[in-house]
Structures are given as C-alpha cells and as structure tokens.
Amino acid sequence: MKKILLVDDDPELRQLLATYLGRQGFDTLLLPETRQLDAYLERFQPHLLILDLMLPGEDGLTACRRLRARGETIPIIMLTARDEPADRVIGLGIGADDYLGKPFDPRELVARIEAVLRRGAQPSSAPDPKGGLVRFGPWTLDRAARLLTRSDKSVALTTGEFALLNALIANANRPMKRERLLELTRGDENESFDRAIDVQMHRLRRLIEDDPSHPRYLQTVWGVGYVFVPDREKYAEE
C-alpha cells in the first residue's frame, strides 16, 4: 500500500479523508500540525505528503519551502481554502507538485494523488537506470540517480524539476511546446494549467543558470515554449 501523510488541523476532514483514502487502497498517516512532520517523514517514509496551507504554528507553505530547501523530494500536494491562480503559483513556485482548493470532492484528491504518484513513475521523472550521465557546462546530470551536481556538490531536484530538465535534455536543441512538456512530465494527466511549466522553469533557472534573467541553457522560444541549448564543446552523454 502507498503511504500518504496528511497534515491538516481539521479533525473531521482528517478522519473523513483517512477513511476514504483507506477504501481506495492508501495507508494514511495523520498529523494536525507540522511539529512532528520531520519525525514522521523519517520514520514512516511516506510516498506522498498532503499539506494544508493554513496550519497552526508553521503554515503549509513555510513547511514546503523548508523541506525543499533541505533537499526533500517527496511529492507534495497543497490543500487550501484559497484557490486563486496566484496562490497556486506560489505553492508550485516553492516546490509543491500540485494544489487543490477547498472544498473539494475526495475523488478529485484521489485523482490528484494517483496522477502525482504516476508522474513519479513516468520515464521523464523517474530515475533511468540506462540514462547515464549528461554533462553540460559545469553541470552533470546523473539520470540513473536523479542527481544534479556541480563541482562535486549535489543540487536536490524535486520530481517535477527533474522531469522537466530530463525531458528538455532528451530533446536538446528542439523547441518544446508547453503542452508537450506537460504531457512528458505529467503523463496522461489532464492538466491545463500551463503556468505550472513556467513555474518549474523559473525554479530550474535559479538552480542552474548563472544569470536566470539571461539563461544560457534553458532558453525561451517566444510563441512556442522552451528549449535546452547545451554548449557544443562541453556537452556529452555517457
């Protein structure tokens, strides 16, 4: 059974979701706040984390930002009473994999969970044992280990970030439409929120580019989408 860790301060919602998710084949762990979040992640190693945005003490956005800053790559779905596009951009921008506004149908949450977990099993986002190493500029991407390094220092990538970078590298010098990148990084999920790709690209540029405002490797093709442009003399696949 896939283990889901749900952090929400509403006891009725926690129990309702635990019961429903259990019927769908998920083993659900429950927390009312984030004080024990780190201990639960270490002890139980859940497959996915569901974080409410409005929590007592450390809120969901702060917790998500903190986990990503320390290199935690567990898939995260944010829950919130607000579902404005700006809130989604903020949540995705700090590393959440998906975002669901309250109130919601539990069936939609299950669909989101399955889509995010499935995304992690897609060729673009999963470690590729046969993928080998890709070197561009000062960077090395180990597709088997899903690890990005520079000068022997590793940079943690979320599932979405790795999926996008891997998809672009696999199509080097080929402009990719946002719609196609969504297909490659999110599988067969019916996702029309193209801005999600823009947010992931913004995060990748901040990680990789010396000057994110004038990217060298992850370039924009106006009217189309994005393209990975490697250095000819420093690009190699092994």
Report the alpha-carbon distance of residue 43 to residue 29 in Å, rounded. Answer: 11
Per-residue pLDDT of the chain (238 residues; tens, 9 = 90+): 799 999 999 999 999 999 999 999 999 999 999 999 999 998 998 999 999 988 999 999 899 989 887 778 789 999 987 655 665 666 667 778 888 888 889 999 999 999 888 765 544 444 555 567 888 989 999 887 788 999 888 887 887 888 889 889 888 888 888 877 877 776 544 444 557 788 889 989 999 999 999 999 999 988 888 999 988 655 556 5
Please give the CATH number for the structural domain made up of 133-237: 1.10.10.10
CATH architecture of 2-121: 3-Layer(aba) Sandwich (3.40)
| Report field, pTM of the whole predicted structure over 0.75 | no
Report the alpha-carbon distance of residue 85 to residue 53 in Å, rounded. 15
Strands 236-237 and 133-136: antiparallel
> Which one-letter amino acid corresponds to residue 111?
A
Asked if 228 and 218 touch (Cβ cutoff 8 Å), the reply is yes
Beta-sheet pairing, 48-52 with 76-80: parallel
C-alpha distance from residue 146 to each of 60, 68, 174, 209 (Å): 26, 15, 22, 19
Domain ranges of the chain: 2-121, 133-237
Give the model's pLDDT for residue 131: 62
- Neighbouring C-beta atoms of residue 45, cutoff 10 Å: 10
Question: Are 2-121 and 133-237 equal in CATH topology?
Answer: no
